[in-house]
Amino acid sequence: MRTPKTTKNLIDRVRYRLPVLCLAAMVAAVSFPVTSYATENTKKQLEEAKEKKEQSESELENTKDDIAEMNEEKSSLQGQLNNLNQQLNEVSDNLEELEEQIDTKETEIENTLAELAVAKVKEEEQYASMKKRIQFIYEKQNFVVMGMFLGATNFADFLNQNNYIEQLSAYDRKMFNQYVETRHLIEEKEATLEQEKDQLQEYQVKQQAEQSRVSGLVSQTSGTIKQYSNDISDAEEKAKALEDQIKAQEQDIKKLEAKLAEEIRLSKLAANSTWRNISEVTFAEGDRALLANIIYCEAGSEPYAGKLAVGSVVINRVLSSVYPDTVVGVIYQNKQFSPVASGRLALALADDKANADCYRAADEAMKGYSNVGNCVYFRTPVPGLTGTQIGGHIFY
């Protein structure tokens, strides 16, 4: 049988919780987005996973654009390289032809020099013979005239012999002049050939310079194409890695979405599950300090209402048949409260960091008071998440 004091406490609890329960019923009647039921860690992980996937997709798109641009530039350079190679072949052919022409000119010059040498020898021989005959006639003219006179059978014969000498002298002069003219012609021919050779060599030097220039461009363009090929290969490897990364991220997102769906299921199940009365809960020694310190870790900088709301979520889970039925079991349930995983709760418990408001909130929550109805989740506000906002948290 309840005492008057117990009855009064029960009435106060009902009076206190009635508006909250009504609000919870109204909230439950509204169709919220499924993300409203996500836990803080899962929601955050899912958002981060999607954001990373978007970044990877953006980077992949940029990489593919880079590959397309590099392929286009490489194709353009390949066209330039083909033209340069054609120019190089033409220049090389010209040089080969010039070398043949120069060899021919050198052969012609050698032959001409040989002809000139022969002509000079004949000229010198003719000049020496003519000089001897003239000298002999000049020095021995009396003797020659006397011999011709004594040797002639008649005057006509004497005139014929004299005429022969004149013809011989004229022939000598003619032949000498011919050899001199031939030598001049050969010398002119030699000079012309030397000039042509000089021109060919000058053109050869220009063609060699052009060959060197084009060859340098070919080498430079080939090197650039090779660099583009290497860059394209690296970019393609990067694109492949990004594609693999995106596939892995998609798998992560699917896992997180599956986890989120499970949490949604649990959240709905919790809302519709069997709830114990606070009087049915037996708290263990140390539950008060544990609850106060998790409140400190999760809402230490929040107003008192925010601290009480966090304590209420923990106790609501203890009361729900979906979650563990002890404070320890709820708080240390895998991947539910981030301070547990990060080690902050252990540090807080070691020095009992919880302040008076945290203990006050823990005491009220353990008495069954709740300022968030039957909410079993809370997190910092994010787009699309609705519920009861107290301080810096949304409770749902």
Please give the Cα distance from 50 to 58 (Å, whole number). Answer: 12
How close are the terminal C-alpha atoms of the chain, in Å?
36
**Each residue of 125-136: pLDDT tens digit?**
767 766 666 656
Residues of the chain with pLDDT under 50: 1-38
Tokens 């054609």 sit at which residue? 86
Residue 247, by phi and psi: left (phi above 0), alpha (psi -120 to 50) or beta? Answer: alpha
Please give the Cα distance from 154 to 170 (Å, whole number). Answer: 25
The predicted pLDDT at position 156 comes to: 65
The predicted pLDDT at position 304 comes to: 96
The token pair that represents 309 in the structure block: 């709301």
**Each residue of 288-315: pLDDT tens digit?**
999 999 999 999 999 999 999 999 999 9
Q: What is the DSSP letter of 388?
A: E
- Exposure on the CB side of residue 395, measured as CA atoms within 13 A: 27
Tokens 């547990």 sit at which residue? 340
The predicted pLDDT at position 40 comes to: 63
Please give the Cα distance from 239 to 235 (Å, whole number). Answer: 6
Asked if residues 246 and 53 have their Cβ atoms less than 8 Å apart, the reply is yes
Buried b (16+ CB within 10 A) or exposed e, 267-304: beebbeeebeebeebeeeeebbbbbbbbbbbbbbebeb
Chain centre to alpha carbon of residue 38: 40
The predicted pLDDT at position 10 comes to: 35
The predicted pLDDT at position 349 comes to: 95
- Exposure on the CB side of residue 234, measured as CA atoms within 13 A: 8
Distances (CA, A) of 88 to 92, 212, 216, 226: 6, 9, 10, 20
The predicted pLDDT at position 208 comes to: 87
Asked if residues 257 and 27 have their Cβ atoms less than 8 Å apart, the reply is no
Tell if the pTM clears 0.75, that is, is over it: no
